[in-house]
Amino acid sequence: MSSHDISGRFWSLPQKPGEETARERTFIDDIISKAHIERLLLDNLDGIRTAFDGGGGTGRFSLLLAARGVRVTHFDISQPMIDKARQLAGQRGVSENITFVHGALEDLSAFADGQFDLAMSFDAPICYTWPNHERVLGELARIAAKRICVSVYSRAANTAYHFDPAQKEKYTLNLSHKELRDFQKRRRGFHPDFKSARELLRNGLNNPASTQATFERGETPWPVSYAFTPAELQGLLERFGAREVRLSGPGALARSIPGALLREYMGDEGRKREFLDFCYEYDSQPWAAGMGKDNLVAIAEVCN
Q: How many CA atoms lie within 13 A of 185 on its CB side?
A: 5
Contact between residue 142 and residue 242 where contact means Cβ atoms under 8 Å apart: no
Residues paired with 297 in a beta bridge: 151, 248
**pLDDT tens track for 261-279:** 999 999 999 999 999 999 9
**pLDDT tens track for 108-134:** 999 999 999 999 999 999 999 999 999
Q: In the chain, which residues have pLDDT < 50? A: none
Amino acid at 6: I
- Distances 120 to 5, 27, 224, 230 between C-alpha atoms, Å: 22, 23, 21, 18
In angstroms, the CA 139 to CA 74 distance is 16
* pTM, entire model: 0.94
**Interacting residues of 17 by C-beta distance below 8 A, sequence separation 6+:** 58, 78, 80, 81, 83, 84
Please return the burial class of 90, using the count of CB atoms within 10 Å of its CB with bins 0-12, 13-18 and 19+: exposed
Phi and psi based region of residue 244 (left: phi greater than 0; alpha: psi -120 to 50; beta: remaining): left
Query: How high is the pLDDT of residue 177?
Result: 67
**pLDDT tens track for 165-206:** 888 889 998 877 676 777 777 788 889 989 989 999 999 998
Contact between residue 220 and residue 261 where contact means Cβ atoms under 8 Å apart: no
